[in-house]
Structure 1
Amino acid sequence: MSREGLFDAHRVGDDLFFEIPDSVLGREMLLLGRAVASTTQSQSGFFGGGPRLIVQWERQGNRVILRQKEYVARADTGAAIWRQVSGMRQGPVLGAFDVEAWGPDSAAVVDVTALFTSTNRPFGSLENVEGDRSWIEHVAAFPRNVEVEATQTGRPPSSGRPASGPNGPGARGEELATQRMHWSMVLLPDEPMRPRLEDARVGFIASEHTTYDTPEHGSLERSYIHRFRLEPSDSAAFRRGELVEPVEPIVYWIDPATPDWLKPWVDRGVEVWNEAFEEAGFRDAIRAEVAPVSEDWSLYDARRSVIYWRPSTVANATGGQVVDPRSGEILKGEVNMYHNVQNLLRDWYFTQVAPLDPRARELPLPDSLMGRLVEYVVTHEIGHSIGFPHNMKASAMYPADSIRSESFLRRMGGHVATLMDYSRFNYVAQPEDGIPPELLVPRIGPYDRFAVMWGYRPILEADTPEEERAVLDRWARMQDTIPWLRFTTDDSPNDPYDLTEAVGDADAVRSNTLGLRNLQRVMDMLVDVAERPGEDYELLEDLYGSAVSQWSRYMGHVAAVVGGAETQERYGTGARFTPLPRAPQEEAVRVLNERAFATPEMLVDHEILRRIEAAGAVPRIRTAQKRVLGTLLDASRLNRMVEYEALAADAADVYSVAELMEDVRAGVWDELGDARVAVDVYRRNLQRAYLEVVDAELNPPEREGPPPPFGGNAEPAYASDVRPVLRGELRELDRQAGAALPRAADRMTRLHLEDVRAEIERILDPGG
């Protein structure tokens, strides 16, 4: 059986031959491999990956070789250094094949069977592939690509055991895995797309390389953003400002395995991006179609962008892309929708906005609601696959009170400025606000339209990436006056306006306090919603666990305010980092003392706990509180506060580490000042957790491996001013615990205080 195409492919018995003409030699191709079925899929449903390489066929005498090409170094072909840089692009040889015969026009015929059916690491994830259990399944050839599928049997790389058992090859079958792999070998575009240079102010996934032909005194790191090739079909109309269709629209193929009732929602999740592409000057730029079912039509073809539906217990979804490294052009967008993402959406929606939408209290959720939630996830993942990373910054620029206003939400298109945020559903809104349910779910926002415009709008007056920079800079400076067009910065972990899973983080303290109000309402209805006659309590347990996680997120968002700095990426126009003033930090600690370190009674509901477990509440609360405490007293946070105090122009407006520790001690150890000291089991656990956190800061285990990179945040607490503050706090705490002992109201409190003093002594003198 023979297939004609880019190069002809011949099946002769169990063997596969490629007939490679001279016209293909030296031409760069994308080699993309995917495992499409596997005995090792377990929970993921994704079946693992395969190669994503640039390769080319070369002839060496009477042999043909397949060589990988690298694009980490570049130089202009006219530069003196070009020859040396060109040599750096020669990657490893992936295969070498004797010429078995010659076809017309000196086409070399080579046997490539072993390339796909033996151990060849770039061609699969299995080791010790056994040839007698591996074979070619299918081959197809087209004008620009060749597709191969094969079954491989071997040892998963993580098993650490030989593929052959003591009684012969594969005798211990549980140590082997069999997977069906699909490979695409497709020519890169004849003419590379014009690259667009990355700008840190606007979020795009990008590929970095080192260029050696710059006027700078040395090499230069440059990055090209990832984007599809969109070119106007009518340049004259485009110049007049009219919307035009692209020469080639972006097409996403919907996996036929997608549940039929969800296919229209998946379709909408793709095509809603058209409103953003209109900002780039295009209409009908992106669409979705259900993929056909045919032996010669594969979802894994490197030419096709696909939304895969994965049979999986994993509650997640992902989006990515395969690019031409020469230009950043996206050749294939990929979205993976794991089947159990529906469970995750149910949990999020119920725990965040059930008090605002009666449909959330109907479990399972109505199809119309679940479909809308799946659409939201698809739109987010499509965003990744068309080039966008996460952006937690833009939405935080909306005033926190405004996202409780229906008129604001309708005017702005929802409570998020970008669908690429991890913002989820509008838990800040309260029942009395009367927000319609359709405004609770994130939608395409102004940042999304701005980013599509910045990355995808052709700049016809420019001929090179460098000539585009002035226009791109002008567009990026729109962020200076329109704050919700901003993108996250490289200091995002320290920016309380750049939080994941957060709504209303323009005022994280206020917004998360409102979130707690809704969470209390959720807890009050939890048993009524989740308890069903004749069924077990798995749903109740799942939703309760989701509520505990939601509580932890809210408290973590509040803790992020302390020692935080507002950031804005700028190019030569002023300061990028501004530490927060004292007042919001003090308010954050006050709320943490009241809502996080005081026992969260909403999570200790006997009506729930006695239905789902015999025991577990006490350690669960301890774990949740310790996580918040550890976040608040993290060494990097404390060291930032030391530096902010040292550099402050006005020390009176700085919230110092000493003040933070004093305020936390007052909240965590509040009982020590009472006339009758009674510390219950939850508070005893919290106080022990406090000592564990401080101990870890003062007496960390010896570091293994190389020292941390240069930088203030890498400094351990025991090597900075944090150390004397913590030691002073322990001495004061020891004094207070000693004074409280005679006032202990019960035996457990007395034993606890004695233990506290002994533990403080050990921490202060660990070698004593």
Structure 2
Amino acid sequence: MMKKLYLLLSLLGFLGKAHAQTPTIAVFTTGMDKQPGYLPFYWDAKKGKVYLEIDKFETELLYYPSLASGIGSNDIGLDRGRLGNEHVVKFQRSGPKVLMVEPNYQYRAISTDPLERRAVEESFAQSVHWGFEVAAEEANHVLVDLTPFLMQDAVGAVQAISQTRQGSFRVDPSRCAMYLPNTKNFPQNTELEVTITLTGDSPGGYLRSVVPTANAVTMRQHHSFVQLPDAGYKPREFDPRIGYLGIEYFDYATPVSQPIMKRYIARHRLEKKDPSAAVSEAVKPIVYYLDPGTPEPIRSALLEGAAWWNQAFEAAGYRNAFQVKLLPPDADPMDIRYNVIQWVHRSTRGWSYGASIIDPRTGEILKGKVTLGSLRVRQDYLIAQGLVGNFESDTAHVGEMMQMSLDRLRQLAAHEVGHTLGLPHNYVASTQNQASVMDYPHMVAKLKGGRIDLSDAYTKEIGEYDKWSIRYGYQEFPKGTDEKKELNRIVQQMHAKGLTFLTDQDARPEGSASPTTHLWDNGANAVEELQRVIAVRSAVFRNFTEKKIPAGTPMTTLEEVFVPMYMFHRYQTEAAAKVLGGVNYSFALRGDGQPVLSPVPAAEQKKALNALLATLNPSFLAVPDAVLKLIPPRAYRYDPNPREVFKRHTGLVFDAMAPAEVAAGMALRLMLNPERGARLVQQKLFSPNQLGLSEVIDELVKQTYTPSGPNYEGEISRLVQRKVVEQLIQLAVDKNADGAVRAAAHNGIMKIKGLPTVPANSFTAWLIRQYEQNPDQVPLTTPQTAPDGQPIDPGQEWLQPDCDWTR
């Protein structure tokens, strides 16, 4: 009995001693620097650690990482200001451990029944982001060591470097530390920043070009903990007929007769001071702040372009509800309270982005973050230089070229801010009188009296579609209004104005079907605009002299000016190609009166075919002799960016055949796209008068396999012929292509084989024999890649793509 009592007392003594080993927060943090705010934290300067004080258990908050200082490579994509994904998290305690848990908001039950909600919660996995040991505690507060969590690669830099084949890297803890200047606390958010160093072997070229010692990549990563907004925000339903980004989730409490997938738009919270007034000031206007590191005159252009959005909010019934200001000196761009437009530098031209931090529960935008690449204005200026440059003096036409560049920056600022307001791309807008800044615009260069005029190169205000989209997303309706009915009315009124919406999925793929939805195009009719663009290109060629560069500039740099002029037709060619096998369609809803689906008329398709064939004409593809005599081998220490000039088979000397090879290969790839071919085949089945794939191939062979002389244009003609047969062989052996498409390509190859202009001892005949003997092993020529086009000005936005908006 005494032995048992002794053991019990010993156990109690051990537990008491163990409990005593967990100190109070006050004792543990003696000598540390306390930072009060949303989540109080302590800085232990001796150990280089940050301790987080937690008293908000089971309270949801928003966590997201970001990149405070980047790498400087557009190709890798690790840019200053890059945002990571948002996560709704909460802290849960279990004994001596605290877990940071992310609930699964992709699957919900919007119900008042707790058992119904629990059934869904327990059916799908959650995510635990980190586990912390309790270091100290008092009352209902605990202290945890946050440092290991902060020192991780939170933005996925290791993965980004690996995916771009720049080497295998890992975090080196010995070279990581807290970065105190940007570690701060605010009433609604806690901001912590660390210096992270990745080390690795065999770094790739992108890294070597931007990192001083490429096997040690040091950047600063930022961690934000943000108070989630109150329940006053009302989600607004998504309508596919008018573009909005947003959230979607499964609601398992939905009646079986209704869709289980719920879709809501992303938008800022905006309310009228007087909801009953047709026009009212906002309770809290949406304010964007521009990076003060942006130089003039770019700064003024960006401020002006971003402020265009106030025109759209005025149309939605608000007065001065959207504002743009310069970021105050005492403001921190990482603070959740500031929507920011950041000016970012890279080593090469690249995309700009519009991203947002949103509440994943509702779609409410909490912070807009625009990233603008600084080199794009230089590319705009270079294009303007090719179009109108004539340096009879050092300042000749500089004002005109700079004005076009600044006009583009205004449009760009509006575009990227539009993404942060919730809007995706609308690529059909360029065919509807440039109705949206959310399109990708090609500069409108007009011919006036044989001279190129850039005064209307870019729009100078918000588009009409943009006003309707802001009305849909932000207009406030009086109490008692049937909101769904009113939103539908907005869409119908927009359609009555001839405005529609189509986006990336309809425009980006080379084989996409819409004849109106393209990147970097203009005009209501893609074919007519191609013909107009070709006329502008011809005018540029006629006037292309050494005066395109200033006096004292190495002649070798004339090549960089010439390249975008030679390829000036590239995007309009892509637009015209989509007319072949094209299909007019809309995001129609049943009963809304929109046309659903119809093929492009045969006459339009034949017109497109003729325009495309004109881009394969040797006289079109030839570089003017005068230009060939102006471009010498590269000057010492003036090595070009290899992606900005034509590749060459001629060593140091400019390759006169390379531009033709690139342009012809591009046109043929577009015309003989396998998806486009399949649509041509099927359209012919249902409409015998429609243009079919066999007719396209027949006309292609007829126009390109003509007698050619021993001169420059004759050699281009023979190059095009080789490209035609190689593209047909590639299509015929494509096992993923439709069988009828492969058959049509095969028939085209056999037709070429029988032509009198194809001697039996010719290279073309030899290629065809290789195809007949072993089709899977035909030694096709590796196609020359075109110099970089996108961003044209410059700008997979995912790009990343795209896209611009990262959500």
The answer to whether TM tops 0.5 is: yes
Out of 507, 510, 528, the residue aligned to residue 510 of structure 1 is: 528
Where 2:318 maps in the other structure, the secondary structure is: coil
For the residues of structure 1 that align with 2:607 and 2:156, how far apart are their CA atoms?
A: 56
Out of 202, 205, 213, the residue aligned to residue 242 of structure 2 is: 202
Letter of the 2:472 counterpart: W
Q: How far 1:156 sits from its partner (Å)?
A: 6.8
Q: How far 1:448 sits from its partner (Å)?
A: 0.8
Aligned twin of 2:699? 663
The reply to whether residue 420 of structure 1 matches residue 438 of structure 2 is yes
Out of 763, 766, 778, the residue aligned to residue 758 of structure 1 is: 766
Render the CA deviation track for 1:277-296: whole Å, top value 9, x for unaligned.
112111111112222334xx
For the residues of structure 1 that align with 2:435 and 2:70, how far apart are their CA atoms?
A: 40
Segment drifting more, 261-270 vs 623-632: 261-270
Q: How far 1:158 sits from its partner (Å)?
A: 10
The reply to whether residue 577 of structure 1 matches residue 619 of structure 2 is no
For the residues of structure 1 that align with 2:546 and 2:325, how far apart are their CA atoms?
A: 41
Aligned twin of 2:40? 8
Aligned twin of 1:112? 146
Give the direction of change, closer, same or farther, for the CA distance of 1:84–1:609 in structure 2 (3 Å limit): farther
Aligned twin of 2:668? 629
On the 8 A contact 2:154/2:221 being kept in 1, the answer is no
For the residues of structure 2 that align with 1:72 and 1:29, how far apart are their CA atoms?
A: 17
For the residues of structure 2 that align with 1:372 and 1:453, how far apart are their CA atoms?
A: 26
The reply to whether residue 362 of structure 1 matches residue 406 of structure 2 is no
For the residues of structure 2 that align with 1:557 and 1:345, how far apart are their CA atoms?
A: 21
Render the CA deviation track for 1:645-689: whole Å, top value 9, x for unaligned.
2233xx22x1112221111111111338x9x99982111111111
Aligned twin of 1:591? 611
For the residues of structure 1 that align with 2:629 and 2:422, how far apart are their CA atoms?
A: 45
Q: How far 1:276 sits from its partner (Å)?
A: 0.7
On the 8 A contact 1:57/1:67 being kept in 2, the answer is yes
Q: How far 1:101 sits from its partner (Å)?
A: 2.1
Q: How far 1:19 sits from its partner (Å)?
A: 1.5
For the residues of structure 2 that align with 1:123 and 1:489, how far apart are their CA atoms?
A: 25
Aligned twin of 1:333? 368
Letter of the 1:107 counterpart: H
Out of 437, 444, 465, the residue aligned to residue 447 of structure 1 is: 465
For structure 1, the residue ranges without an aligned partner over 5 or more in a row are: 161-171, 399-415, 703-714, 742-749
For the residues of structure 2 that align with 1:417 and 1:617, how far apart are their CA atoms?
A: 40
Render the CA deviation track for 1:577-624: whole Å, top value 9, x for unaligned.
210111111112222223334442563444345424423220221121
For the residues of structure 1 that align with 2:124 and 2:337, how far apart are their CA atoms?
A: 24
Q: How far 1:306 sits from its partner (Å)?
A: 0.8
On the 8 A contact 1:698/1:723 being kept in 2, the answer is yes
Aligned twin of 1:143? 187
Q: Normalising to structure 2: TM-score of the pair?
A: 0.79
Render the CA deviation track for 1:406-435: whole Å, top value 9, x for unaligned.
xxxxxxxxxx111111123223x4315999
On the 8 A contact 2:628/2:656 being kept in 1, the answer is no
The reply to whether residue 292 of structure 1 matches residue 317 of structure 2 is no
Q: How far 1:363 sits from its partner (Å)?
A: 4.4
Out of 377, 395, 408, the residue aligned to residue 342 of structure 1 is: 377
The reply to whether residue 377 of structure 1 matches residue 412 of structure 2 is yes
Alignment of 1:685-704 (within 5 A): 685-700=719-734
Alignment of 1:186-225 (within 5 A): 186-191=226-231, 193-216=233-256, 220-225=260-265
On the 8 A contact 1:354/1:360 being kept in 2, the answer is no
Where 1:617 maps in the other structure, the secondary structure is: coil
For the residues of structure 2 that align with 1:486 and 1:314, how far apart are their CA atoms?
A: 32
Aligned twin of 2:354? 319
Give the direction of change, closer, same or farther, for the CA distance of 1:608–1:248 in structure 2 (3 Å limit): farther
Out of 203, 207, 215, the residue aligned to residue 175 of structure 1 is: 215
The reply to whether residue 247 of structure 1 matches residue 283 of structure 2 is yes
Where 1:611 maps in the other structure, the secondary structure is: coil
Aligned twin of 1:169? none
Where 2:126 maps in the other structure, the secondary structure is: strand
Q: How far 1:87 sits from its partner (Å)?
A: 3.4
Task: Say how many residue pairs are matched.
Answer: 692
Where 1:180 maps in the other structure, the secondary structure is: strand
Q: Normalising to structure 1: TM-score of the pair?
A: 0.83
Give the direction of change, closer, same or farther, for the CA distance of 1:696–1:360 in structure 2 (3 Å limit): farther
The CA RMSD measured in Å over matched residues stands at 3.2
The reply to whether residue 46 of structure 1 matches residue 79 of structure 2 is yes
For the residues of structure 1 that align with 2:530 and 2:422, how far apart are their CA atoms?
A: 31
Q: How far 1:625 sits from its partner (Å)?
A: 0.4
Give the direction of change, closer, same or farther, for the CA distance of 1:451–1:677 in structure 2 (3 Å limit): same
Aligned twin of 1:725? 744
For the residues of structure 1 that align with 2:417 and 2:41, how far apart are their CA atoms?
A: 34
Letter of the 2:144 counterpart: V
On the 8 A contact 2:66/2:83 being kept in 1, the answer is yes
On the 8 A contact 1:417/1:447 being kept in 2, the answer is yes
Out of 479, 484, 488, the residue aligned to residue 499 of structure 2 is: 484
Give the direction of change, closer, same or farther, for the CA distance of 1:526–1:386 in structure 2 (3 Å limit): farther
Where 1:236 maps in the other structure, the secondary structure is: coil
For the residues of structure 1 that align with 2:109 and 2:454, how far apart are their CA atoms?
A: 55
Segment drifting more, 264-273 vs 690-699: 264-273
For the residues of structure 2 that align with 1:425 and 1:760, how far apart are their CA atoms?
A: 43
On the 8 A contact 2:199/2:216 being kept in 1, the answer is yes
For the residues of structure 1 that align with 2:324 and 2:588, how far apart are their CA atoms?
A: 37
Where 1:266 maps in the other structure, the secondary structure is: helix
For structure 2, the residue ranges without an aligned partner over 5 or more in a row are: 1-32, 160-168, 205-211, 634-652, 778-807
Where 1:484 maps in the other structure, the secondary structure is: coil
Letter of the 1:46 counterpart: D
Aligned twin of 2:737? 716
Richer in helix (by share): 1
Q: How far 1:353 sits from its partner (Å)?
A: 7.2
For the residues of structure 2 that align with 1:154 and 1:114, how far apart are their CA atoms?
A: 16
Percentage identity across paired residues of the two chains: 23
On the 8 A contact 2:693/2:744 being kept in 1, the answer is yes
Q: How far 1:63 sits from its partner (Å)?
A: 2.5
Letter of the 2:608 counterpart: A
Render the CA deviation track for 1:280-334: whole Å, top value 9, x for unaligned.
111111112222334xx42122332111111223323221211111111111111
On the 8 A contact 2:622/2:713 being kept in 1, the answer is no
Letter of the 2:59 counterpart: R
Render the CA deviation track for 1:348-404: whole Å, top value 9, x for unaligned.
44556779xx99973486655533332221111111111111111133134xxxxxx
Where 1:671 maps in the other structure, the secondary structure is: coil
Render the CA deviation track for 1:486-509: whole Å, top value 9, x for unaligned.
4448544211111111110x2212
Give the direction of change, closer, same or farther, for the CA distance of 1:359–1:252 in structure 2 (3 Å limit): farther
Letter of the 1:282 counterpart: Y
Q: How far 1:89 sits from its partner (Å)?
A: 6.6
Where 1:458 maps in the other structure, the secondary structure is: coil
Give the direction of change, closer, same or farther, for the CA distance of 1:730–1:364 in structure 2 (3 Å limit): same
Letter of the 2:631 counterpart: R
Out of 128, 133, 138, the residue aligned to residue 175 of structure 2 is: 133
Out of 99, 102, 117, the residue aligned to residue 68 of structure 1 is: 102
On the 8 A contact 2:530/2:611 being kept in 1, the answer is no
On the 8 A contact 1:314/1:340 being kept in 2, the answer is yes
Aligned twin of 1:33? 65
Out of 430, 433, 447, the residue aligned to residue 430 of structure 1 is: 447
Give the direction of change, closer, same or farther, for the CA distance of 1:607–1:430 in structure 2 (3 Å limit): closer
For the residues of structure 2 that align with 1:339 and 1:173, how far apart are their CA atoms?
A: 24
Q: How far 1:694 sits from its partner (Å)?
A: 0.7
Letter of the 1:132 counterpart: S
